[in-house]
Structures are given as C-alpha cells and as structure tokens.
C-alpha cells in the first residue's frame, strides 16, 4: 500500500483500519476516478442488493456490513433447515423453519451497529425493474443457474446508454465443493453470465428407462418420484421446487421406491438437491469466495483499486482440492449471446430429427439449458408451451422432422422460455 493521506470516517475508532484501505491511494489506484474525500459518504449512502442468504449469502452480508456499507437489502425465499446449520453461521437451531433473509438480516444488524438490512422473503422474479433500479450494486450468492440467468438478463435489459445510473454492476459468486468462482459483470459492457453459460455444464441426464425400470442409485429413485410418480398422481396442481410440502411428498415416494429395490441414501436434503439441482457447499470455500465478492464490491464502491472486469480480467477461479490455487482471466463477450449480443447462435442439428427431439435437446445443450422452450421460425410458430389453446394447436408439429416443417440450413429460429420472459434466444440452424 502506498503512503498517503487517510480520510477518516465519522467513527474513526471503529473504521480506522478500513479507512487505511478505502480512503488512501495505492499503487494500482486510478487517480482519475478516485476521490478519497468522497469515499466514506458514497459508501454510507450506497444501496446494495444481496441475492441469497444461504452459505454464500451469510458470509456476504457479514462482510459487506464490516466493509462499511450501511444500506443493504437481501432477497431469499427459503426457510432455514437443520441441514443448513453446519455452514450457514448466522443461523441457530431455534431459527429452523424461519425465513433465511429475516434471520440473517436481524443477526448482522445486532452485531454491526449502524447498518440497516432490509429482508425480502420472496423470489427475485417477484420484483420489477423499478425495484432493481434503486440499487448501485448487486451481489449474488446463489446455488441456482436459472436464478443467475434471470437476474443477469434483467440487469442487461435495464441498461439505457443515455442514463448512467441504469448500469448496475453484478458481482456473482459460486461454489461447488472445494472449488469456486467470482466474477464481475458490467451489463452490456463486459461478458455477461449468459456469455459464460458453457462454463456451467448441465447435469448429466439419467436414461428414462433406468429411472422407470431398474434404479441403481438414490438419485434414480428421486428422479422417478420427480418425473413419473408426480405426473401419474398429480398430488398438487403444479410442482413448486421451493415448497417444503411438495419436496416432502417427493422424498416419501423416492424413499418407498428405494426400499423396494434395497437402495440406501435417499434423504430429504438429497431430494432437494436433485430436484433443485443444488450444488454441494463447504463452509471454507464459501468464506473465500464471499470474501472475493465483497472485495470487488469495496473496489467498485470506493475506486481504491481496479475491480475484476476493468479493464480486462473479469473471472476468478479458485480450487482448494490440492493446496490453494487461483486463476484470473478474461471471459470475452460473445456477439451471439442471446442476452447481450445481437447475432444468432449456430445450432448444429440433424434435419431428420423431430421438433420434439430438438426441444428436448435444449435442456442438455450447454449453450441453451432451457426447460420449457417454445419455438418460432422466421415465418411461423412451430410450438408454444402456453397458452393451452396454442399448445394444442401446435402440438401436431412435435412429431414432424425439421425438414417436414420446412426449415432449411441456415434458417434462424427464435426460442423463448417462461423462466426468461425478457429474452428471445436466436439460433441459426446448421444441418449436419
């Protein structure tokens, strides 16, 4: 750290060491954007949003509060389960069953006086763009690829080149066992999460015949309950992966099937993990990645040092499997990204495959990973998942080959998915 004048906060005894970093120029500080005298007021008045109050979210909330941020909002729709207590340190046994966002916010407010944390017990999709526009930074600590993609698309869609305040930097962290990553997305400027989707390969599909006939693993029993038993019995009008009552039903069905075939290992938490595609978490990895994310938030808020994404490197990978290893690189913006790009993405297909096969492949293709896609060609609607009347009208196309539907090599198709209401994915068919 270079020597220089320190501009203390209003509570110097408490923030003295923080001010040594955030209000003093260092060897990498950009003097054109750094103003030490304004840093403290800027951070005191900055409104920051944290998405997720689980393993990463607890660490992020604690770190942000101790980094000088005073106005924080947190969104998480989940309630606390006893399995969370080994790594989500803001929770206690007495908190089981309560909303994560509320408990986490209350705990940090008690320990870090002066910080205000507003909890929201809901889905991120429940808010519109006006809600997200009030924040200067968004930090994600999510275990869901779908939620990451949604908030990424929303923030990119909010950008108005003529309105400087419409650019909301997105800091994203993720962990899987002893591995993790942190990245900074400057919407419409740098590579976005959709550009980087191929870094998150979809879960390997289990053959339906194995699920339906001879399961060998606890995951097979859970998938059977999820795909087959639910469809046959329909205990609720619509499956909600976040409803404990629905997960309990699936768990009981999977457990009964596992006992029938002498399979052990079906648990409630594993059922959640399979159905929601939850990634395993380790407390030490969460702490490291959350620290990296909050370090980026501090750098962006204070300009005391360049953040990831400016001017080049925007993606940091961490591995703790064998010793400790980190690698930082630039993930380039893709011109054919369906969210921040403007070109159609090439999609290699067999012209003899049916529309049904094309739609099913959208779930496992690394560049798509769509669950309920609707498809249009340049001249007509091929298949729509909803409304029911349109689904029934276009259902006959599912058994037709791409050639029979009149699609040609090089033709563009538009694909939408209810999980990404603001995004139309454009693909250019390449026949093989």
Active site residues: 209
Q: Would you give the DSSP letter of residue 430?
A: E
Going edge to edge, which strands form the sheet with 116-120? 116-120, 71-75, 47-51, 137-141, 170-176, 179-185, 315-319, 325-329
Q: First and final CA of the chain: distance in angstroms?
A: 57
CB-based contact 322:371 (threshold 8 Å): no
Between strands 425-431 and 412-416, the pairing is antiparallel
Nearest-angstrom CA–CA distance, 219 and 76: 26
CB-based contact 79:97 (threshold 8 Å): yes
CB-based contact 266:258 (threshold 8 Å): yes
Nearest-angstrom CA–CA distance, 112 and 125: 30
Q: Is 277 left (phi over 0), alpha (psi -120 to 50) or beta?
A: left
Nearest-angstrom CA–CA distance, 427 and 432: 15
Query: What are the C-alpha distances in Å from 296 to residues 53, 73, 135, 271?
Result: 19, 18, 16, 35
């Amino acid at each position: 750290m270079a020597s220089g004048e320190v501009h203390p906060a209003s509570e110097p005894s408490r923030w003295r060491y923080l001010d040594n970093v955030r209000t003093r120029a260092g060897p990498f500080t950009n003097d054109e954007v750094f103003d030490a005298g304004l840093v403290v007021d800027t951070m005191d008045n900055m409104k920051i949003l944290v998405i997720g109050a689980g393993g990463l979210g607890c660490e992020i909330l604690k770190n942000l509060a101790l980094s000088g941020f005073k106005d924080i909002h947190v969104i998480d729709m989940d309630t606390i389960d006893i399995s969370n207590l080994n790594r989500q340190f803001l929770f206690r046994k007495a908190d089981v069953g309560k909303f994560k966002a509320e408990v986490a916010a209350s705990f940090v407010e008690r320990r870090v006086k002066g910080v205000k944390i507003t909890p929201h017990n809901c889905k991120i999709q429940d808010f519109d763009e006006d809600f997200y526009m009030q924040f200067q930074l968004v930090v994600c600590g999510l275990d869901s690829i779908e939620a990451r993609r949604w908030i990424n698309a929303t923030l990119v869609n909010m950008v108005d080149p003529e309105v400087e305040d419409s650019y909301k930097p997105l800091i994203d962290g993720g962990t899987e066992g002893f591995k993790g990553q942190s990245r900074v997305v400057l919407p419409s400027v740098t590579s976005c999460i959709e550009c980087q989707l191929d870094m998150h390969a979809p879960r390997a599909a289990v053959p339906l015949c194995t699920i339906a006939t001879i399961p060998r693993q606890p995951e097979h029993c859970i998938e059977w309950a999820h795909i087959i038993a639910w469809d046959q019995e329909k205990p609720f009008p619509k499956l909600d992966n976040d409803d404990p009552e629905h997960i309990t039903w699936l768990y009981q069905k999977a457990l009964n099937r596992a006992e029938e075939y002498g399979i052990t290992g079906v648990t409630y938490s594993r059922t959640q993990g399979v159905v929601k595609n939850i990634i395993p978490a380790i407390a030490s990895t969460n702490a490291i990645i959350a620290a990296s994310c909050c370090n980026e938030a501090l750098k962006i808020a204070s300009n005391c040092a360049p953040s990831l994404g400016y001017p080049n490197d925007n993606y940091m990978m961490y591995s703790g499997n064998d010793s400790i290893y980190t690698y930082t690189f630039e993930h380039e913006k893709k011109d054919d990204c369906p969210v921040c790009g403007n070109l159609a993405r090439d999609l290699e297909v067999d012209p003899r495959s049916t529309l049904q096969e094309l739609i099913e492949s959208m779930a496992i293709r690394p560049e798509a990973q769509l669950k309920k896609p609707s498809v249009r060609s340049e001249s007509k609607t091929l298949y729509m998942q909803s409304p029911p009347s349109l689904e029934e009208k276009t259902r006959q196309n599912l058994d037709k080959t791409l050639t029979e539907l009149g699609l040609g090599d090089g033709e563009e198709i538009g694909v939408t998915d209810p999980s990404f209401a603001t995004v139309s994915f454009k693909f250019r068919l390449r026949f093989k």
